[in-house]
Amino acid sequence: MMVQVTRSEWTVAALLLVIGMSIPGKAQENSCGQYGRCAPPLTFQLPNLFGCYFYNLFVFGGSCNTQPTTTCQCVCLNGFSQDAGGNCVDINECAVGIPSGLGSNLQVCVGDICVNTVGGYYCTPDLDECTLGTNNCAENATCTNTVGSFSCSCLPGFSGNGTACDNVDECSLGTDNCAENATCTDTVGSFSCSCLPGFTGDGTTCNDVDECSLGTDNCAENATCTNTVGSFSCSCLPGFTGDGIKCNDLDECSLGTDNCAENATCKDTVGSFSCSCLPGFTGNGTTCNDVDECSLGTDNCAENATCTDTVGSFSCSCLPGFTGNGTKCNNLDECSLGTDNCAENATCTDTVGSFSCSCLPGFTGDGIKCNDLDECSLGRDNCAENATCTEAVGSFSCSCLAGFTGEGTTCANLDECSLGRDNCAENATCTDTVGSFSCSCLAGFTGDGTTCANLDECSLGTDNCAENATCTDTVGSFSCSCLAGFTGDGTTCANLDECSLGTDNCAENATCTDTVGSFSCSCLPFFTGDGITCVDTRTCPGGPPGSEFWVKSSDGTKCFQFFSDQLDYASAKTQCSTNVTGSTLAIILSESQNSDVEGLIPNVTTSVKNWIGLEQSTPGTWAWLDGSSTAGYINWDGNNGGTAPSNADKACGAINNKQIKKWKEQTCSEPGQYICEVILP
């Protein structure tokens, strides 16, 4: 094998030959191998130079010639290093890297595949078997690329070497995290947890299910449900009997265990009973008082009848102008019965509850008085222009004037004025007209000229009296006077304000409104009537605004009202004063007041608290909101009024309205209905 010789080595050998140095004889060989060179040591000596380079040039065994005076050493080519025997062998740069010059090696082909060659290396790009799908990893495994290869690892829930992965049964191995009250179900690569019946959650946490609160129990409608761990129990409500799943109603009315009043009927209800006062009585059913149907407007008297209250009932009687039993009142026909007061020359027309009169044709008046109608004076006759009209009872007749001839409806003229044959009156002028003459009465008179009577300006409408005035005829003139309700000289009449002048007849509890020529009366709020008479409709008169229709106590000292909205004790106390200024929770100081309050509370089948103004300051010490002591009347739960409770956690008083109403201590923060009161002055 030929040894590669550098240009510098040739140059040195040639120089040595020129200067005539003899070539030493071949000495002991020191082989460097084919990838090494003989080189002199660092000390410069000609024999060394000649000997070392000579053999590099001509001795193709790659050996260094070493004479006793010559020292050579073996130097490896780039990409090679000496082994323990002094031979130059290939360096695997892919494994050990290349020198950095800082005492350490640098890694080659980072991220690519490194291929070692004799005396060197080269890099080729890495193939990602995971992305290319050329790996053999199992379906339930993940593939991770490595330089020149890849690795496989099983997914969680599987076990194996990565090329084969089997499902792990966490339930059987006990490696699941299911709750104690749950079942574990193995799935491919995982597991699932589900809570047992009676429990709820995600399976890793299972809490007891409150079937009672959720309404998933099978307790009867009239039973209470009590939750237990993983289940529930049922018990019938008071007023029912059964196993809790089926509850039958108890009929307190048939068993005689009700407390209905003597004047009341008992009606069995589901789980309880109700008392209702008989017709004509009012109350809560346990107490029934007589009802004044007339005042309350609950009677069935006819519209045209008066109502009279009786004990437990009432009676009805028809108004004048009507007939009947009081509940039905029919109109009386005064015209047919002849009980009207119409004039002889009038017709009677029946109206509802009365009648009207109107004068016959040819007569005038208000129907009660009818005077003959003077058609002649009013110009309602058909007499000829030159004729006279003569009034008759209910009619008239026509006759030609003197100087005319005819039947009265047609008359031919004579000139009586020229001939002196007129018969004009003293207070008239004669004017000849074609075929006749006319006599005209002087101003202030009227007539046919032959007779001149006083002119009735009032009847003829020629007066100047005001619209709201009456006209009175006088001889030759007339006078005017204002109607009632007006004031003035008769030609001018102004409205009189009876309300301002105090000449009206309105009731004390009514307002007066002036109208043109008159006035009207209307009752104030909370009063009823025609304005001339006004009746107070308030159930709690004298109370502050807003309490007018509260229920007045039996002793007349205060008024109570029940409110059904659910509030805690403090909110209820505040709401009373919000509803009506000065109102407080009810303060019950007597048995009658307690009965009044209980009468307001609806009967229910379940226990519902109704706040009253009773508070506990220290255990067993109770007082009313106004500071009144409870040493007087009490109605605690128990016999003979009971004993004041002393539970410090229940410091607020209420009436429990389930069946028997009694005072009960309650927790102040709980919601409840409430009763408010106002004190009457």
Q: How far is CA 17 from the centre of its chain?
A: 123
Q: Which domains are seen in the chain, by residue range?
A: 7-90 (no CATH), 93-125 (no CATH), 129-167 (2.10.25.10), 172-208 (2.10.25.10), 211-249 (2.10.25.10), 258-290 (2.10.25.10), 301-331 (2.10.25), 334-370 (2.10.25.10), 374-455 (2.10.25.10), 496-536 (2.10.25.10), 551-679 (3.10.100.10)
The first and second tokens of residue 502, run together, are 């105090």
Tokens of 475: 């001889």
The mean pLDDT of 349-357, rounded to a whole number, is: 92
Q: Give the pLDDT mean for 601-614.
A: 89
Residue 28: its pLDDT value, please?
36
Reply yes or no on whether the pLDDT at 66 is more than 70: no
pLDDT in tens, 525-540: 888 999 999 998 888 9
Residues forming beta bridges with residue 315, ordered by sequence position: 308
Tokens 């009032």 correspond to 458
User: Phi and psi dihedrals of 446, rounded to 5?
Assistant: -145, 155
CA-based R_g, the chain, Å: 67
Q: What average pLDDT does the structure give for the chain?
A: 86
Is 496's pLDDT higher than 70?
yes
- Is 507 a residue whose pLDDT tops 70? yes
pLDDT value at position 380? 85
Q: Give residue 23's pLDDT.
A: 42
Whether the pLDDT of residue 22 is over 50: the answer is: no
Q: How confident is the model at residue 438 (pLDDT cuts 50, 70, 90)?
A: confident
What pLDDT shows up at residue 385?
Answer: 87
Mean pLDDT within 623-640: 87
Please indicate whether residue 191 or residue 17 has the higher confidence score (pLDDT).
191
Residue 344 has pLDDT above 70, yes or no: yes
Instruction: Express the helix, strand and coil content of the chain in percent, nearest 5 each.
Output: 15, 40, 45
Q: Average of pLDDT values for 603-612?
A: 88
pLDDT at position 32 is 65
Strand pairing report for 609-618 and 672-679: parallel
More confident residue, 223 or 85: 223
Name beta bridge partners: 113.
Answer: 124
CA distance to 236, 246, 247, 552, 645, per residue, from 250 (Å): 11, 13, 10, 36, 31
Higher-confidence residue: 435 or 131? 131
Give me the residues paired with residue 223 across strands: 236
Per-residue DSSP letters for 580-631? STT-EE----SHHHHHHHHHHSPPBSS--EEEEEEEEEETTEEEETTS-BSS
Residue 60 has pLDDT above 70, yes or no: no
CB 270 within 8 A of CB 220: no
Task: Rank 80-89, 415-424, 571-580 by mean pLDDT and report only the highest.
Answer: 571-580
Query: Quick one: average pLDDT of 62-77?
Result: 62
pTM value is: 0.32
Alpha-carbon dihedral sign for residues 502, 506, 507, 512: negative
Residue 2: pLDDT band (50, 70, 90) is: very low
**Is 62 a residue whose pLDDT tops 60?**
no
The yes-or-no verdict on residue 669 having pLDDT over 50 is yes
Query: Is the pLDDT reported for residue 347 higher than 60?
Result: yes
Q: What is the pLDDT of residue 51?
A: 57
Q: What is the pLDDT of residues 303-325, one digit of tens each?
A: 999 999 988 889 999 998 899 99
pLDDT digits (tens, 9 = 90+) for 465-486: 999 999 999 887 899 999 999 9
Backbone angles phi, psi at 412, to 5 degrees: -95, 145
- pLDDT recorded at residue 71: 62
Structure tokens that stand for 596 in this block: 């009044």
pLDDT for res 46: 55
Of the chain, the percentage scoring pLDDT greater than 90 comes to 50
- Residue 455's pLDDT band (boundaries 50, 70, 90)? confident
Given this model, what pLDDT does residue 560 score? 97
Burial class (CB in 10 A: 0-12, 13-18, 19+), 133: exposed
- What lies within 8 Å, CB to CB, of 199 at 6+ separation is 181, 182, 206, 207, 208, 209, 230
